[in-house]
Amino acid sequence: MLKLLYTNTKAQVRIDGDFSETFDIETGVQQGGIPSPVLFNLLFDFITRKILAEVGVSGVKLAYGNGDFYHSTREAHEDIEILDLIYADDVVAMCTTAADLEKFIRTFEK
């Protein structure tokens, strides 16, 4: 079904009310499309995993607890490592050192 959404996709540009000739859309996700954010996130997750495998940079480690006022004696703490935050087409990369961040960016640019 997704393949059908992206097969033979065409677009036009409108300038001052006049439309250009149609042209094929060969890359990207459809703006405003329902599956577009998920597809973008899946693609970027794949890219991030490739970068991690290639250069082995570390993300920022955060510790958090999931207890509350009533259950504080059973509070559990966990650590999580975050390398990137993604929302729609915005990406924030976080590393523990400037050198790791530079490696991440250079590898991403490839």
Instruction: Tell me which of 5 and 9 has the higher pLDDT.
Output: 9
95, 83 contact by CB (below 8 A): yes
Instruction: Provide the whole-model pTM.
Output: 0.56
DSSP codes joined into one string, the chain: -HHHHTSS-EE--EETTEE---EE--SS--TT-TTHHHHHHHHHHHHHHHHHHHH----EEEEEE---STTGGG--EEEEEE-EEEETTEEEE--SSHHHHHHHHHHHH-
Please report the pLDDT score of residue 109 as a whole number.
84
Q: Is the predicted pLDDT of residue 19 greater than 90, yes or no?
A: yes
> What digits encode the pLDDT tens for the residues 54-104?
888 878 888 776 666 555 555 566 778 888 887 767 888 888 889 988 988
Tokens 């590898």 identify what position? 107
